Amino acid sequence: MSMLFNLINIEFKVKSEVILKKKSLKIHSGKHLLIYGPSGSGKTTLVNIMTGLIKPSKGQIYYKNNDYEKLNIDQIDNLRLLNFGLIFQKLHLIGHLNVQQNISIAQSTPNFDRINELMKSLDIFDKRNQKARDLSVGEAQRVAIARGVVNNPSIIFADEPTSALDDVNAQRVINLIFSQANQTKATLIVSTHDQRIKGLFSNSLDVN
């Protein structure tokens, strides 16, 4: 089983406030991980560090053989594009673009066969020409999932994917994310404070 991530004594500060303090973590391929903790505990910060969206104040982070400290911004962006799928709590869909366009912007060269396959599997194919601003919450969430997995990423990151959902829709979204991860043999990393999904993961990191 190959190692995907190795985080060593990661810290993150904003001015004098410590958001993350000496977090070390190893993640192996195929081992889904839940990052669990209350709001404000640094879960999203940790995800953003792992995906290269922000730099830690201290510590080292490796993805496979890539030392983030030795990569420039373009190299980090390319690593993220080729390896990671991101599903955010705030969906960040572009309202004036349709469903197909919102998914395709995650690809440098759109693969419409793959996009159509995903839209069908997530039951949004008939919405492909509908503007994102006109979608229901559930439909928009499925578009965001499709955009996050369209590149067949090695790792799918989902940040608080169920926090604003009722029990039925929370279970539906988690099932969809697990299903997509299993189809593409991706490793799933979910950050949440939602106790409803804690029992679905055998591998967890509590952030307090």
pTM of the entire structure?
A: 0.87
179 pLDDT higher than 90: no
pLDDT in tens, 6-22: 999 999 998 888 888 88
Check if the beta carbon of residue 35 is closer than 8 Å to that of residue 191: yes
Counted domains in the chain = 1
Provide the mean pLDDT of the chain.
Answer: 89
pLDDT tens digits, one per residue of 104-151 = 998 888 899 999 998 998 889 999 999 999 998 888 888 998 999 898
Q: Residue 60: give its domain's CATH number.
A: 3.40.50.300
Q: Which domain holds residue 158?
A: 3-206
